[in-house]
Amino acid sequence: MKNIIYIALIALGIFAVNAFMNPAVDFNSDNKDGIKFHRGTWKEALAIAKKDKKLIFLDIYATWCGPCKRLKSTTFSNSRVAKYFNANFINVTLDGEKGDGEILAEKYSITGYPTLLFINADGNVIAKGDGYMDGDELLHLGRSAVR
């Protein structure tokens, strides 16, 4: 009986730590001071990028991914990052396991989440980043993609 109680307590502890480390994040909502993401289709994003002569910043995530949640809740809501990305890119965020996101994850050979791509209006990858990045790291990657 003691073993069952210990196992239950350990399982409860793991669950609590996981919930604390990976808070629920609504991937479909923008933070008012954060990066503003395009809400249309991928085809529309490509057309806007061509018209505006901008690169697309594509965040491919998974809803179960802890680093993706952290990126969304911290880095994408950073006002310095948002100011730069909103001015210089067509920002798109897609679930790599659904719809356009699944198609693009296959097209661009995505092997892990989050994957951050900078893509021109012709659909070619200009720069790529993998995993969680803080604001300074993402700004550096974004600036290197624009050069």
Active site residue 38: no
CA distance 134 to 23: 17
Catalytic residue among 45, 68, 94, 145: 68
CA distances from 40 to 60, 94, 144 (A): 15, 11, 26
Task: Kindly provide the residue ranges of all beta strands, DSSP E only, lying in 2-122, ordered along the sequence.
Answer: 55-61, 89-95, 115-119
3-class SS string, 60-95 = EECCCCHHHHHHHHHHCCCHHHHHHHHHHEEEEEEE
CA distance 113 to 9: 30
Catalytic residue among 65, 104, 119, 121: 65
Active site residue 68: yes
CA distance 59 to 72: 10
Catalytic residues: 65, 68
